[in-house]
Amino acid sequence: MTLAVFLPFLLAALCAWLGPRLGRRTGYVAALAFVPALLLALPLAGMPGALPALEVTRWVPTLGLALAFRGDGFSLLFATLIGVIGALASLYSVAYLSPHERFGRFYAYLLLFGGSMLGLVLSDNLIALFGFWEMTSVTSFLLIGLWHTRSAARDGAVKAFLVSALGGLGLLAAVAMIGLAGGSTTLSGLDVEALRASPLFTPALLLTLLAAFTKSAQLPFHLWLPTAMEAPTPVSAFLHSATMVKAGVLLVAKFGLLFGTSPLWSGIIVPVGLATLVWGAWIALRQTDLKALLAYSTVSQLGLLMSLYGLADAEGRFAATAHLLNHAAFKAALFFVVGIIDHETGTRELPRLGGLRKALPVTFAVALLAALSMAGVPPLGGFISKELFYEAMLHQGPLFIGVAVAGSALTFAYSFRLLRVFWGPPRSPPGADPHEAPPGLTGPAALLALAALTFGVWPGGAEALTRTAQNALDFAAYPGHLSLWHGVTPALLATFVTWGLGAALIAQSARVSTLGRRLTPRLNANTVYYALTEGVNVLSSRLIARTQGLALPDQLRIMLGAAALIAGYGVWRSPQVFHAIGPLPLALLPIAALLVAGALGVLLARSRLTAVVAVGLTGFGSAAAFLGLRAPDLALTQLLVEAVTVILFLLVFRSLPRSRDLPRTRWRYGVDLLLAASAGVGATLLVLAGVRFLAPPISPYYLANSYELGGGRNVVNVLLVDFRGFDTLGEITVVGMVALAVLGLVRVGKKGRAPGEAGPAPAPSTPPGTTRPKEKEEA
C-alpha cells in the first residue's frame, strides 16, 4: 500500500522529466504508476496472503505522526477504483491530448493528484489524512488551471481551490478535535466512546461536514465543480468520476461510523444531499454544453451518494457503496465519450450536434450503455443501485421518496438529452468530418461501459464487490442483495413514476427550458462567490491605500510605536526577567564608541550615501564586537551581509528621488523623540532580558558533542548543518521564497515572459470548426 501511494509521486518526478522527451507516450509511464493500486484488488478478491492490513511508516514519531495505511475493504475498494480510472485516464489522454501539450507538467500533476488521492483513501492517521486531503486540493488546482493562459481555467482553478481549502481548514480543526477527544491520531485507534462523550463532538462533526460538503460540491458549495471542467477532459473524468469529488463522500462514509449516532449527522447530510440531487439535476437539464451537463450531473449524483451515506445505517451504506461503483463506471465513460465527441466534431454544444450514431458507432454504443445506467434503466448497474436508493428513502418517509423520485426523473431526462446528439439528422459544425475515434480513445470508455453493463446483468459480481466493504463500513449484517428483480415493490412503482415523469420532461423539453429560464434566480452561489472575492479585493486595496500610502517616516512611526507598546506591555507584565548588570568588559569600549558614532552619523547625514556609510559603520562595529566576543563566524557573516547590503542599497538608490527634508512641526519632533527613546530603551531592555537564562544553558552540550556527533570542530557550523539542520532547511526555504517574492515585485510591469517559460512557444493548433468553450450559464 505504501508503494501504491508513493509510486505515483516518484513517477510524477520521472514524468516531469520525461514529458518533453517522450511527448505523449509519457502517458504509458503514467499509467504504470497505478499498477500497485490495481494490485490492491488482489486482497479484495480473497487472494490468500495478499492482504495488506496495516502498514506503518514512521514519520515524526515524537508527534504521533506516522504514515499509517490501513487496507480495510472499503479503502482497498476505493483505491482500486482510483487505480482503474487513473490508469484509464492516463491511457486515454495519450490519444486525446494535442501534440503541443506540456506533457511533463500534465502527467506530473495527474500522478501527484492520483498519489495524494490514494494516500487520502488509505490513510489511517488523521493528520496524514488531512495532509493528503490538502494535497488533492492543491494538485486539482494545478490540474484545473493547466491551461493557465485561459482566464476561465484560472478562475475555475482558483474557485475550486478557495472552496475546497475552506473545507480543508475545517477538516484540520475537526481532525485536531477528534484526535484530542478520541485520544489517538489514528482512525482505527480512536476511543469512540470518549469522543462521543466529549464536548468537542458537535463542533468536530460540523467541521467535518463543512469539509465533506465543500469537497463533494454539495449545496451551496457546488459552484466550483462545474467550472472545474476547464481542465482537459481526461482530467475531468478522473476528478469528477472517481476521485477528488468523492473524497467528501469518502469522509462521510468513514466518519459516519464515528458520528453516525448523532441525529445531527443524518439530519444535516440527508436533506443537503437530496437538495443537491434535485438542484444539480435541474441545472444539468438546462445545460447546452455536454461537459457542463456532466459536471452538474456529478453534483447531483454526489448528492445522492451523500444522502445515502448520511443515513448512517447498514442499508444506506450498502446502497451507497453499490452506487459508488456504478457512478464511477458510467460517469468516467461518459466523460470519455464527451471527449471523443469534442475531439471528432470540434464542439460540445448540444444544439450543434446530431446524428452522430452513424459516424461514431462504437462511441454510440458506449454512450448508450453509460447514459442508460445513469438514467437507471434495466438491465444496467445504475438501475439496481437506484432501486436500493429508493428502498432506503422509502424507509425515511414520503417526503424523502418524493424528492428522490423528482431528482431521479430529472436525471432520467438529462441522460436522454445527452443521448440526443446521436439521433436526428447528421448535424455537425462546418469543416468537421466526424469519424470513429482511434481505439486509444474508445477503448477505455468501452471498458467502463462494459463494467456498467456487467454490474447490471451479473448482480452477483457487483454484490461481491460491494460486500468487500461490508466489514469496514459495518453493513455485514444487512440482508439485502443486488438483483434486477425484487418483485413488485414500492421501489419499483416509484421507478415507474420516475420514468413517467422523466418522459414527460423530455416530451415537454421546450416548456421546461422556458420555465428554467424564468426560474433562474438572480442571486446564486456564484454571484455570492464573486461578490465575496470582489469585496476582499476592494477591502485589501483600501487597506493598502490607507496604510501603505503613508510617507515612509509615518510608516516607521507606526511600526516603532506598535513595537514599543507591545514590548512595554511585556516589560510591565514580567519585570523579573532582568537582573543586575555585571561589570562591562573594558576592551569593548572603543567598539561601543564606534557604534554610537555610526548611529549619530546616520542622524546627521544629509544625503543617503552618507547615511548608508554611517549605517555600515555600525555594522562593522557589530562585527568587531562579535570578534571581541570570540565569535569569528558571526563577525564574518556580519561583514559580508554588510557588504551585500551596501551594494543593494546603492543599486536601489539609483532609482530613488533625491532625499528631501520634510518640515516637521514641534509636535512631530516631540513624538519622534519619544518614539526614538522608547525604541532605544526597548532594545536595551530586550538585550538585557536575553542575558539572563531562565533555564540552564544548552551550549555546553553542543561544545562537548559537536566533534563527537557532527564530526566538525566549528561548533556554529555543526549546529547549523546537523544539530539544528531542520531549522536551517526552513531558513533557506524562507530565503528562497523571499528572493522569489522580491523578484516578482521588481519585475512587475516588465514586458516579456515569466522566467522558466523558456523554450519555443507551441504553434497554435486551430483546425477548422474550432470553438472556444464559452462562459457557461452558471447556476
Partner 1 sequence: MTRERPTPAPAAPPARDRTPTPAPLSGDPILRTVSRAVFALVLLFALLLLWRGHNAPGGGFIAGLMTTCALILHRIAYGHSALRTDPARLVPWGLALSFVTGLVPYLLGRPYLKSDYGYLTTALTGEFEWATALLFDVGVYLVVVGGSLAIAYALIRVDPHERVEGDE
In 3D space, the residue among 559, 549, 539, 581 whose CA is nearest the CA of residue 687 turns out to be 581
Nearest approach in angstroms of CB 635 to partner 1 is: 8
| Residues whose CB falls within 8 Å of the CB of residue 89, separated by 6 or more in sequence, listed in order | 110, 234, 235, 237, 238, 332, 444
Q: Which is nearer to partner 1, 655 or 665 (CB)?
A: 655
Nearest approach in angstroms of CB 339 to partner 1 is: 9
Q: Which is nearer to partner 1, 267 or 553 (CB)?
A: 553
Nearest approach in angstroms of CB 739 to partner 1 is: 3
Nearest approach in angstroms of CB 88 to partner 1 is: 19
Nearest approach in angstroms of CB 1 to partner 1 is: 18
N-term to C-term CA, the chain: 40
Nearest approach in angstroms of CB 746 to partner 1 is: 4
Q: Which is nearer to partner 1, 188 or 733 (CB)?
A: 733
Backbone angles phi, psi at 342, to 5 degrees: -60, -45
What distances in angstroms separate CA 480 from CA 319, 378, 476, one per listed residue? Answer: 9, 19, 10
In angstroms, the CA 640 to CA 638 distance is: 6
What distances in angstroms separate CA 69 from CA 10, 61, 120, 137, 481, one per listed residue? Answer: 18, 15, 9, 20, 30
Q: Which is nearer to partner 1, 98 or 483 (CB)?
A: 98
For the chain, what's the residue count?
779
Q: Which is nearer to partner 1, 96 or 296 (CB)?
A: 96
In 3D space, the residue among 345, 349, 351, 114 whose CA is nearest the CA of residue 237 turns out to be 114
Q: Which is nearer to partner 1, 152 or 588 (CB)?
A: 152
Backbone angles phi, psi at 718, to 5 degrees: -60, -40
- Up-side HSE of residue 306: CA atoms within 13 Å toward CB? 34
The overall longest dimension of the chain from CA atoms, in Å, is 103
Provide Rg for the chain, Cα atoms: 32
Asked if 612 contacts 649 with a C-beta cutoff of 8 angstroms, the reply is yes
Q: Which is nearer to partner 1, 527 or 765 (CB)?
A: 765
Q: Which is nearer to partner 1, 568 or 773 (CB)?
A: 773
Q: Which is nearer to partner 1, 107 or 265 (CB)?
A: 107
Strand bridging mode 65-70 / 54-60: antiparallel
In angstroms, the CA 567 to CA 573 distance is: 10
Q: If you write DSSP's letter for every residue of 703-766 in order, what string do you get? A: HHHIIIII--S-HHHHIIIIITHHHHHHHHHHHHHHHHHHHHHHHTT--SPPTT--SPPPPP--
Q: Which is nearer to partner 1, 188 or 717 (CB)?
A: 717
Q: Is 268 exposed, middle or buried (0-12, 13-18, 19+ CB in 10 A)?
A: middle
Cell numbers at residue 134, please?
A: 490538502
Nearest approach in angstroms of CB 660 to partner 1 is: 6
Nearest approach in angstroms of CB 497 to partner 1 is: 40
Nearest approach in angstroms of CB 69 to partner 1 is: 17
Type and span of the H or E element at 154? helix 151-182
141, 142, 147, 148 alpha-carbon torsion, rounded to 10°:
80
- Specify the DSSP class assigned to residue 61: G
In angstroms, the CA 78 to CA 101 distance is: 30
Nearest approach in angstroms of CB 758 to partner 1 is: 5
Q: Which is nearer to partner 1, 261 or 637 (CB)?
A: 637
Nearest approach in angstroms of CB 558 to partner 1 is: 21
